[in-house]
């Protein structure tokens, strides 16, 4: 694919993964429109921090996924759509499930309707490994049963099923990508790795929830590369594809690794408020990534140690944006 000929829309472009994806697409030469949720400060998230030679090439659109007219206007002439805009925090979904239904289901429906009307070339719908719930088998392949063990995962399953129905009913060119845990620069403190790193750098204690769970962690540039490879691959339309390293690590071992890399001496404290309900907790997530490798040739390149070092350095230089030790959902 020649990205220099492509008009591309990224929803959720001001967020963690979305900002990295937007930046890379601009570097590839794409004509990029970034959809950012409208706010009173007219702030476009991490796009604000881009170098001028990158930021000046991006069309910023402030809108709302819940507003169908807004979505129709922004899809417009764009032909490749990366739909990353979503409510994403599992703990927050326990508190405000309605907002997850509104954004993740209705917002996705609006994107699908707009894409149907505008004859797009490709819609890449970013989903999550959380849709698998507590796995019956590990590593997890794409045929695994889907389980709505949190309001967040339930809404992402619904979004997937809507996309699947539009592919079957209207021949909409859509591919569903289930991304396993992502980390790296710009990630908020609601995620486990920045939470651990900020506390380790403070040097007092590390407050966490369940330390026995395992996750498949992926550096953000690997995920971005995977999303782009999916968009470039013509034979993935209608498919569901995992993007993950195929490796897992327990939160306990992850904490010990971060303590070592930061040369800190912290006590690990388990706090009950950070622990999910037993029926909602997902103890293991590890990708079977053979389908992704076979279809696109993608594979992860950044080791966990190298990715953590990059993330630690970035957080050190941006520690003022984090409230160390405060539990964020």
Tokens (6 digits) for 65: 């996924």
Residues 181, 129 contacting (CB under 8 angstroms) = yes
Residues 20, 12 contacting (CB under 8 angstroms) = no
The one catalytic residue in 92, 94, 132, 152 is 152
Contacts of 214 (CB under 8 A, 6+ apart): 248, 249, 250, 251, 283, 284, 285, 286
Task: Looking at 209-249, list the stretches that DSSP marks H as alpha helix, in order from N- to C-terminal side.
Answer: 220-232
Distance from C-alpha of 323 to C-alpha of 320, rounded to nearest angstrom: 8
Say whether 132 is catalytic.
no
The CA-based angle 16-243-38, given to 5 degrees, is: 30
Q: Is 140 helix (H, G, I), strand (E, B) or coil?
A: strand
Helix axes 304-317, 251-262, angle to 10 degrees: 60
Report, as residue numbers or ranges, the catalytic residues: 152
């Amino acid at each position: 694919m020649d990205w220099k000929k492509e008009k591309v829309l990224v929803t959720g472009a001001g967020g963690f993964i979305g900002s990295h994806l937007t930046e890379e697409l601009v570097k590839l030469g794409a004509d990029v429109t970034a959809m950012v949720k409208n706010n009173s400060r007219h702030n476009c998230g991490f796009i604000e921090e881009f170098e001028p030679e990158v930021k000046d090439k991006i069309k910023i659109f402030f809108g709302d996924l819940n507003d169908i007219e807004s979505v129709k206007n922004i899809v417009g002439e764009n032909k490749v759509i990366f739909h990353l805009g979503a409510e994403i925090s599992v703990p927050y979904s326990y508190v405000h499930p309605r907002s997850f239904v509104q954004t993740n289901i209705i917002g996705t429906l609006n994107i699908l309707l707009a894409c149907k009307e505008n004859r797009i070339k490709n819609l890449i719908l970013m989903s999550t490994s959380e849709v698998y719930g507590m796995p019956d088998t590990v590593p997890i392949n794409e045929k695994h049963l889907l389980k709505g063990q949190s309001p967040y995962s339930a809404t992402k399953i619904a979004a997937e099923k809507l996309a699947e129905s539009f592919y079957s009913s209207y021949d909409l060119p859509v591919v569903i990508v289930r991304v396993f845990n992502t980390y790296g620069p710009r990630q908020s403190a609601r995620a486990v790795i920045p939470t651990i790193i900020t506390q380790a750098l403070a040097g007092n204690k590390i407050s966490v929830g369940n330390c026995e769970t395992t996750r498949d962690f992926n550096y953000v540039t690997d995920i971005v590369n995977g999303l782009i490879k999916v968009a470039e691959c013509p034979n993935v339309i209608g498919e569901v594809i995992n993007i993950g390293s195929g490796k897992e690590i327990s939160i306990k071992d992850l904490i010990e690794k971060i303590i070592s890399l930061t040369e800190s001496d912290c006590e690990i404290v388990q706090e009950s408020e950070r622990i999910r309900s037993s029926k909602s907790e997902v103890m293991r997530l590890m990708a079977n990534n053979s389908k992704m490798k076979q279809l696109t040739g993608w594979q992860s390149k950044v080791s966990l140690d190298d990715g953590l070092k990059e993330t630690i350095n970035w957080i050190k230089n941006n520690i003022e944006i984090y409230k160390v030790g405060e539990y964020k959902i």
